[in-house]
C-alpha cells in the first residue's frame, strides 16, 4: 500500500472516529443543559459544530484523493 492509499484509508477512519466523538459532544451538551449548566452546554455545542467542520475537511481531502486515484 502506497502513502496515498494509506492516507485514503486513514481519512476514512479519522472521519468516522471524529463523527463518533461529535455525537458524544452533543449528548453531553444536552446533559449539561438538563443540569442547568448553560455555560457548558454552549461550549460543547461549539465543539460539536467545529467537529462537524473538521468532517467537511476530511470529506474534502477524501474527494481530492478520489480524484487523484481516477486521474492516474
Residue 63, all three cell numbers = 474527494
Q: Which residues contact 48 (CB under 8 A, 6 or more apart)?
A: 22, 25, 26, 29
Tens digit of each residue's pLDDT (9 = 90 or more) over 7-64: 999 999 999 999 999 999 999 999 999 999 999 999 999 999 999 999 999 999 999 9
Question: What one-character-per-residue DSSP string does 53-68 give?
Answer: HHHHHHHHHHHHHHHH
Predicted TM-score (pTM) of this structure: 0.83
Q: What one-character DSSP code corresponds to residue 33? A: H
Contact 25, 51 (CB under 8 A): yes
What is the pLDDT, as a whole number, of residue 72?
A: 63
Q: Which residues contact 32 (CB under 8 A, 6 or more apart)?
A: 38, 40, 41, 44
Amino acid at each position: 500500500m502506497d502513502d496515498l492509499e494509506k492516507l485514503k484509508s486513514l481519512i476514512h477512519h479519522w472521519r468516522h472516529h471524529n463523527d463518533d466523538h461529535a455525537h458524544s459532544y452533543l449528548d453531553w451538551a444536552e446533559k449539561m443543559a438538563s443540569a442547568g449548566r448553560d455555560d457548558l452546554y454552549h461550549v460543547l455545542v461549539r465543539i460539536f459544530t467545529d467537529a462537524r467542520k473538521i468532517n467537511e475537511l476530511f470529506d474534502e481531502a477524501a474527494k481530492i484523493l478520489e480524484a487523484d486515484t481516477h486521474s492516474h
